[in-house]
Amino acid sequence: MRDDQITITHFIIEEQRRIPGATGDFTSLLNDIVTACKVISNMVNKGALIGVLGSAGSDNVQGEVQKKLDIISNEVFINANLRGGHLGAMASEEMDEIFPIPASVPRGKYLLLFDPLDGSSNIDVNVSVGTIFSILRGPDGAAPGLDAFMQPGTKQICAGYAVYGPSTMMVLTTGHGTNGFTLDQDIGEFILTHPDLRIPEETGEFAINASNMRFWEPPVRRWVDECLAGTEGPRGKDFNMRWIASMVAEVHRILTRGGVFLYPLDSKNREKGGRLRLMYEANPMSFIIEQAGGMSSTGRQRIMDIEPTALHQRVPVILGSKREVERLISYHEA
């Protein structure tokens, strides 16, 4: 490692120095999360060689088929963060209820929410998947219950994701910009490689599952139709459409070169409130996107202003380059 390279641990220590009275617990907690992501990265890279691919033969709380690596990644995250003494409780997309820290283990002041393996439907075909996490401050004193997790996204003190692709990267924010780190496999350290990521306000690229077109609301259909009309349409330029079916991969592309990601409200997911999970996907990704100069909305309100009512609450998601998200919001308002 070169002398001028900054590891994620050193970066986090510098970030914590911004906080008056900081004790070091936050740095230690993030180090435990980083360790979990390294373990998951190793398993994703080895895949079929260690027998972690394929269906687990079970469904999660969302009614979605679990992959073997969904369950294993969930266990990795719990075990890596259980005994550090930094957490009061955890919550995972793969678990029905919150996971309280046992009385036999020191209890900390933070709450951890995570999607251990986002985009796992792609794992068997070797497409990028990832891990998403969010950290909240818990209540003082008593063991936190479900109510402690019912905080809007504006209360997050940190959010991040790891993307397991050609290289493993971690992107995170503590409310002072968004920064990207690449895992150097030779030394086992995440190195700061993408400081102060910024999303271009204008874009010519978007990602949406076009197979749901017949279910879309008029504002979304109008916006997509205008984009597809290209230079001859009202927008006067050509747009490219992408769809990976892995939110981590979609957001990472937007952070790298701009774009808009949409999983909007439609007639198919309306009864559930949307498709993506507020606590494990929408809130942390919104925090990351906004800190990079982007925008995130349901089409009707800012995602991070939503007051949660359930641990596995779903919401519509429209995020990315600011000008296009603003345009989509204006179409919803109209």
Q: Is the dihedral of CA 90, 95, 100, 101 positive or negative?
A: negative
CATH architecture of 205-333: 3-Layer(aba) Sandwich (3.40)
**Rounded Cα distance, 266 and 268, in Å:** 5
Report percent pLDDT > 90 for the chain: 77
The rounded distance, in Å, linking the Cα atoms of 188 and 195 is 20
**SS3 call for 296:** strand
CATH superfamily entry for domain 8-194: Fructose-1,6-Bisphosphatase, subunit A, domain 1 (3.30.540.10)
The ranges of the chain with pLDDT < 70 are: 1-3, 19-22, 48-67, 123
Q: Give the model confidence (pLDDT) of 224-274 as tens digits.
A: 999 999 999 999 999 999 999 899 999 999 999 999 999 999 999 999 999
Is the distance from CB of 313 to CB of 283 less than 8 angstroms? no
pTM: 0.93
Q: CB–CB of 148/161 below 8 Å? A: no
Question: What does the block give as tokens for 296?
Answer: 């995130």
| Whole-number Å distance between alpha carbons of 104 and 89 | 13
Instruction: Kindly report, residue by residue over 317-328, the tens digit of the pLDDT.
Output: 999 999 999 999
Going edge to edge, which strands form the sheet with 178-184?
99-100, 87-92, 110-118, 129-137, 158-164, 168-173, 178-184, 189-194
Report domain extents, the chain: 8-194, 205-333
Q: What is the pLDDT of residues 262-303, one digit of tens each?
A: 999 999 999 999 999 999 999 999 999 999 999 999 999 999
